[in-house]
Chains A and B, each alone.
Chain A
């Protein structure tokens, strides 16, 4: 199941920031990781990912640099900036509050109705 566009627009950047908080990653790696680690819910193609990365970069939340890969090619790695870390922290709090609220309303499974 895929998220609706509006939900994806809100969740996608947080998901990308979260992945990058663990380590620097390149584009294809991020596409694969988003699909695999969210059971396909947050899967996105490069048409969505790269514009999102450019937006995050323009806001100073992530930074990019080209590095040599093991196979001898070059890849563009994205890493979280200090500002990005702060943003991720704020987003996590917001999402937790949202989940809590939805749970309280019984929208989330296992939560009291």
Chain B
């Protein structure tokens, strides 16, 4: 029993990793001490002694291993001497010390404990892995820096084709640009005059400071210190406004595709006065993102000038001119909305909203201001704008495909990997405007240039392929388009691809990023904006039509249906009450236009209380609470009806209605309980 125990103890001691570490550590300091001491004691012939010393020292083994070898070689030499061999014979039969040491080392290592063998194996494995990784990295670097995009499709030409078939006198862009520059110069003069007046007055008084006229334009009140200056400026702008009213009637904007604006210098400022049309091969050098939309900025400002001019006309009692201006601004909104780009649609919607709010404000403050014909004309113009086709995302897809063809390689089958150009693009697309340029990356990419150069190639491995990027973008666009086309009841379906894009974006690193994920988060807000636009504009349509009805009949209609078709080509629907029109109630000569709100039931214009739940509050006007998609209780995945329609859950919004337009007397307003 004790022998077994002793054997087990000896065995475990020999195999102990701690013992192996101790043996290895001992060899660091004077590794030959015991071995050479044994040789000293053996008193072998000098030649033999030297050969053994050299061999043992060269083995580079642990101290106790050198000791074992030395002892054995001494014994061998002594046996040889005992057998009558002389020193030269022994040395001759010994062989080359270097080779012998190598063989000894190799064989002795095989006798070492398993813990050391495992250590050596893992060290070698790690070494091999590092080597494989390094070789792979070099291959990736070579592939990355030698890959180039191939620009094959002239999307600029496709974009240009939207203007085909229209004559120049059917396009408004040149008037928009010319008038835009003229107003920008006027506004600059106004700002300089104001600055001079402020300087003469010893600077602005911070406590009583009025907002700068340009900041509150076109809603300057007559008591504003800059009102008169703006009034004179707009009066002087009359010829341009006349041109603008004429241009607003044309079918299209018709700006040619071009990448280079024509710039004019004046008063230390630059003005974009035109555009150089794209040359046939220019698309190879210029991205579609670089297409100049020189008219967009001025369209909104010119609409504001029209509104201010309408205010001046109303103050002069010229309701006809005011109506002309409103219809002109609505014409600009129509032209912008008819352009195929999303940004243009959004500008068009914003102009439309601005004009509608202004008309509503005037109608509320001055009932009976416009006659029935004017109001009917406004109501129909306004309604036609709402009936324009909805947002169509095919050009957004085109922009994305153009980005892909400029940033990814092409394997000939539509797939490919990121090229160095992708990083230039990513910098451009994600940089803040004030710091525009390839050097300004987002936080994840904003790193040392050398580190970036070293990590960029890894995007081949970690980032999406061209096909994956396109698939992700298509998925988000398909979902968005589906909701836009099918209507607000589908809004909750707009989440899966958005979630994927969000996930991709969350996982972005200097080696992994995604164009699709960069672009797609904005799509959710586009959808919300679109439904908000429809809903709000519908309510303004009803309001204008109500005022037209009242102007003709001297009283408000009993129901909203009485407005169709004379005052409204179509009754606007309540998006929160599918298939039914917006709600309307009146008390005497005052009325409320409202929607059932996100709880989906008619509370007779009782305002929905503000929720204390921040999640709900954020969603109050986001439609999602009205149409939540049912989820499987087991998988939590959204459920669809057999035809692909989302199966909806019960509305989850707060009790009460959405008051869209309320011109009841103040004390009778529904309170926000």
Nearest-CB residue, chain A, relative to B65: A54
In the bound complex, how far is the Cα of B75 from the Cα of A28, in angstroms? 8
A45 B75 Cβ-Cβ under 8 A: no
Tell me whether B83 is interfacial, beta carbon within 8 Å: yes
B108 A28 Cβ-Cβ under 8 A: no
In the bound complex, how far is the Cα of B79 from the Cα of A55, in angstroms? 23
Give residues of chain A (44-61) contacting chain B, Cβ–Cβ below 8 Å: 45-48, 50-55, 57-59
Nearest-CB residue, chain B, relative to A56: B107
| Least CB distance, B117 to chain A, in whole angstroms | 10
Tell me whether A65 is interfacial, beta carbon within 8 Å: no
B100 A27 Cβ-Cβ under 8 A: no
In the bound complex, how far is the Cα of B106 from the Cα of A58, in angstroms? 11
* A74 contacts across to B, CB distance below 8 A: 75
Tell me whether B670 is interfacial, beta carbon within 8 Å: no
* B80 contacts across to A, CB distance below 8 A: 28
Give residues of chain B (29-58) contacting chain A, Cβ–Cβ below 8 Å: none
Selected from B100, B107, B111, the residue in CB contact (under 8 A) with A52 is: B107
Tell me whether A23 is interfacial, beta carbon within 8 Å: no
Tell me whether B528 is interfacial, beta carbon within 8 Å: no
Selected from B78, B93, B100, B111, the residue in CB contact (under 8 A) with A58 is: B111
| Least CB distance, B260 to chain A, in whole angstroms | 77
Tell me whether A29 is interfacial, beta carbon within 8 Å: yes
B100 A73 Cβ-Cβ under 8 A: no
Tell me whether B95 is interfacial, beta carbon within 8 Å: yes
A28 B106 Cβ-Cβ under 8 A: no
* A55 contacts across to B, CB distance below 8 A: 107, 110
Selected from A31, A51, A76, the residue in CB contact (under 8 A) with B75 is: A76
Nearest-CB residue, chain B, relative to A32: B83
Tell me whether A38 is interfacial, beta carbon within 8 Å: no
Selected from B71, B95, B106, B107, the residue in CB contact (under 8 A) with A45 is: B95
Give residues of chain A (68-86) contacting chain B, Cβ–Cβ below 8 Å: 71, 73-76
Tell me whether B82 is interfacial, beta carbon within 8 Å: yes
Give residues of chain B (380-430) contacting chain A, Cβ–Cβ below 8 Å: none
| Least CB distance, B86 to chain A, in whole angstroms | 15
Selected from B75, B82, B94, B108, the residue in CB contact (under 8 A) with A27 is: B75
Tell me whether B650 is interfacial, beta carbon within 8 Å: no
A51 B103 Cβ-Cβ under 8 A: yes
B103 A48 Cβ-Cβ under 8 A: yes
* B104 contacts across to A, CB distance below 8 A: 50-51, 54
* B99 contacts across to A, CB distance below 8 A: 47
* B198 contacts across to A, CB distance below 8 A: none
Tell me whether B169 is interfacial, beta carbon within 8 Å: no
Tell me whether B73 is interfacial, beta carbon within 8 Å: yes
Given contacts A47-B103, A48-B103, A51-B104, contact A75 B79 (CB under 8 A): yes
| Least CB distance, A13 to chain B, in whole angstroms | 12
* A52 contacts across to B, CB distance below 8 A: 107
Give residues of chain B (81-103) contacting chain A, Cβ–Cβ below 8 Å: 82-83, 93-96, 99-100, 103
* B83 contacts across to A, CB distance below 8 A: 28, 32
B111 A57 Cβ-Cβ under 8 A: yes
Selected from A46, A48, A59, the residue in CB contact (under 8 A) with B76 is: A46
In the bound complex, how far is the Cα of B80 from the Cα of A109, in angstroms? 36
* A75 contacts across to B, CB distance below 8 A: 75, 79
A46 B75 Cβ-Cβ under 8 A: no
Given contacts A28-B80, A46-B94, A47-B99, contact A76 B72 (CB under 8 A): yes
Nearest-CB residue, chain B, relative to A57: B111
Nearest-CB residue, chain A, relative to B96: A47
Selected from B75, B93, B103, the residue in CB contact (under 8 A) with A26 is: B75
* A28 contacts across to B, CB distance below 8 A: 75-76, 79-80, 83
A46 B73 Cβ-Cβ under 8 A: yes
A51 B106 Cβ-Cβ under 8 A: yes
In the bound complex, how far is the Cα of B82 from the Cα of A55, in angstroms? 27
* B78 contacts across to A, CB distance below 8 A: 73
Nearest-CB residue, chain A, relative to B80: A28
A46 B103 Cβ-Cβ under 8 A: no
* B93 contacts across to A, CB distance below 8 A: 31, 45-46
Given contacts A32-B83, A45-B95, A47-B100, contact A54 B75 (CB under 8 A): no
Which of A46, A57, A58 has the most CB atoms of chain B within a 10 A radius of its CB?
A46
| Least CB distance, B59 to chain A, in whole angstroms | 11
In the bound complex, how far is the Cα of B107 from the Cα of A26, in angstroms? 18
| Least CB distance, A8 to chain B, in whole angstroms | 13
* A71 contacts across to B, CB distance below 8 A: 82
In the bound complex, how far is the Cα of B96 from the Cα of A55, in angstroms? 20
| Pairs across A and B, CB under 8 Å, 27 listed | A27-B72, A27-B75, A27-B76, A27-B79, A32-B83, A45-B93, A45-B95, A46-B73, A46-B94, A46-B100, A47-B95, A47-B100, A50-B73, A50-B76, A50-B104, A51-B103, A51-B104, A51-B106, A54-B104, A54-B108, A54-B110, A54-B111, A58-B107, A58-B111, A59-B110, A75-B75, A76-B75
Residues of A within 8 A of B (CB): 26-29, 31-32, 45-48, 50-55, 57-59, 71, 73-76
A-B pairs, 5 with minimum CB distance: A28-B79, A47-B95, A54-B107, A51-B107, A51-B103
Given A73-B78, A76-B72, A76-B75, 7 additional A-B pairs, CB 8 A: A26-B75, A32-B83, A46-B73, A51-B107, A54-B111, A74-B75, A75-B79
